[in-house]
C-alpha cells in the first residue's frame, strides 16, 4: 500500500524520539495519531497530525480513547509504542508507589496499547508494531534495575508477540537505542557528552522506523540495536 494512505499511532509523540518519528512519518505521507499528555510542546501544523491528550497510565481512559480513535479513523496500519521515562537510582531508594508508576508506563501501558492494536490489526488482516526498547533491555547495569526490568520485559514481550501474530501479517519490531539526545535527560542527573558522536540523534531513530516500515512485507526486522559511536556520559555536579 502507498504510504500516502497509511496511518500510524505514535505514543509519546510530543517530545524527543516520538516527536522525530511523527515528523518523519508525516514527511513520508503518513497520517499520524499522536498520544501524549501535553501537546503544547509539539505542533507540526500539519492537517495529517491528530494529537490526543492522554495519560497512558490511566488504563481505563486509554482503552476507551483507543477504541474511539480506531472507530473514528479510517484505517490504522502502524503502532509505534514509544512513550516512557527514566529513573535511575539504587533499588532500595524506590518507594512502592514509584515502582508501580514506573512499571505502569514503561511496561504495562505498552502491553495494553499493543493488545488493543493487535485485536484491531487481526480484523484488518495485518499491521506493524514498533516498540521502543533500550540498550538497558539487552544488558543490565547498576542503578538501572527498574528501567532494565521494564525494557527486558518489553523485549520478551516483543519476541513472544512476534511469534504469536506473525502468521496474521502483523510484524513486531523492537528498537534498542543507547543514549539518544532528547529531553529524556531533563530530570536526570546525567546526559550524553556534547560531541556529535556521543549520542544518537532522534532523527536517526526516526530513520530506522521508516526503514523498518518500508521493508517488503514478507520479511520482519525483529530487533535493531543502535549505539553512539563514542559513549560519553556527563554527570551533573
Ligand atoms: N533518550 C534516550 O537516551 C533513550 C534511549 C533508549 C530508549 N529510550 C526510550 O525512548 C522512549 C522515548 O524517550 P525520549 O528520549 O523521546 O524521551 P522524552 O523526550 O522525554 O519523551 C517521552 C515521551 O513520552 C511521553 N510520556 C511520558 N509519560 C507519559 C504518560 N504518562 N502518558 C502519555 N505519554 C507520556 C511524553 O509526553 P508528555 O510528557 O507530553 O506526556 C513524551 O512525548 C522511551 O520509551 C525511552 O525509554 C530513550
Q: What is the reported pLDDT for 110?
A: 99
Residue ranges in 73-219 assigned as alpha helix (H): 96-103, 109-124, 145-165, 202-214
Domain with 131 in it: 3-235
User: What is the 8-class DSSP label of residue 116?
Assistant: H
Based on the structure, what is the number of domains in the chain?
1
Q: What is the pLDDT of residues 17-53, one digit of tens each?
A: 999 999 999 999 999 999 999 999 999 999 999 999 9
- List phi, psi (to 5°) of 128: -125, 135
CATH classification of the domain holding 109: 3.40.50.720
| Cβ–ligand 1 contact at 37 (below 6 Å) | yes
Ligand 1 centroid to residue 93 C-alpha, Å: 22
User: Judging by beta carbons within 10 Å of its beta carbon (0-12, 13-18, 19+), is residue 45 exposed, middle or buried?
Assistant: exposed
Residue 1 pLDDT exceeds 70: no
pLDDT grade, residue 237 (50/70/90)? confident
- % of residues, the chain, pLDDT over 90: 97
pLDDT grade, residue 178 (50/70/90)? very high
| Cβ–ligand 1 contact at 38 (below 6 Å) | yes
User: Judging by beta carbons within 10 Å of its beta carbon (0-12, 13-18, 19+), is residue 123 exposed, middle or buried?
Assistant: exposed
- List phi, psi (to 5°) of 38: -135, 100
User: What is the 8-class DSSP label of residue 203?
Assistant: H
Ligand 1 centroid to residue 201 C-alpha, Å: 14
Which residues does 119 contact at the CB level (< 8 Å), separation at least 6? Answer: none
Which residue in 136, 158, 150, 137 sits closest to 101, CA to CA?
150
58, 37 contact by CB (below 8 A): no
Ligand 1 centroid to residue 182 C-alpha, Å: 9
Q: What is the pLDDT of residues 87-107, one digit of tens each?
A: 999 999 999 999 999 999 999
Q: Whose CA is nearest to atom 47 of ligand 1?
A: 84
Ligand 1 centroid to residue 218 C-alpha, Å: 31
Amino acid at each position: 500500500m502507498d504510504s500516502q494512505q497509511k496511518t500510524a499511532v505514535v505514543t509519546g509523540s510530543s517530545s524527543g524520539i516520538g516527536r522525530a518519528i511523527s515528523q518523519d512519518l508525516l514527511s513520508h505521507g503518513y497520517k499520524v495519531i499522536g498520544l501524549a499528555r501535553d501537546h503544547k510542546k509539539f505542533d507540526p501544523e500539519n492537517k495529517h497530525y491528530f494529537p490526543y491528550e492522554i495519560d497512558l497510565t490511566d488504563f481505563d481512559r486509554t482503552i476507551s480513547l483507543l477504541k474511539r480513535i480506531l472507530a473514528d479513523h479510517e484505517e490504522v496500519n502502524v503502532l509505534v509504542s514509544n512513550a516512557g521515562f527514566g529513573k535511575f537510582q539504587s533499588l532500595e531508594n524506590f518507594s512502592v508507589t514509584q515502582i508501580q508508576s514506573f512499571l505502569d508506563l514503561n511496561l504495562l501501558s505498552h502491553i495494553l496499547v499493543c493488545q488493543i492494536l493487535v485485536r484491531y490489526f487481526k480484523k484488518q488482516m495485518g499491521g506493524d508494531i514498533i516498540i521502543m526498547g533500550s540498550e538497558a533491555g539487552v544488558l543490565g547495569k547498576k542503578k538501572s534495575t527498574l528501567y532494565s526490568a521494564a525494557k527486558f520485559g518489553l523485549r520478551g514481550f516483543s519476541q513472544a508477540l512476534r511469534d504469536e501474530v506473525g502468521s496474521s501479517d502483523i510484524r513486531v519490531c523492537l528498537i534498542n537505542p543507547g543514549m539518544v539526545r532528547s529531553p529524556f535527560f531533563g530530570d536526570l542527573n546525567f546526559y550524553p557528552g556534547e560531541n556529535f558522536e556521543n549520542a544518537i540523534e532522534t532523527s536517526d531513530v526516526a530513520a530506522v522506523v521508516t526503514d523498518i516500515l518500508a521493508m517488503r512485507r514478507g520479511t520482519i526486522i525483529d530487533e535493531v540495536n543502535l549505539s553512539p559511536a563514542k559513549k560519553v556520559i556527563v554527570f551533573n555536579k
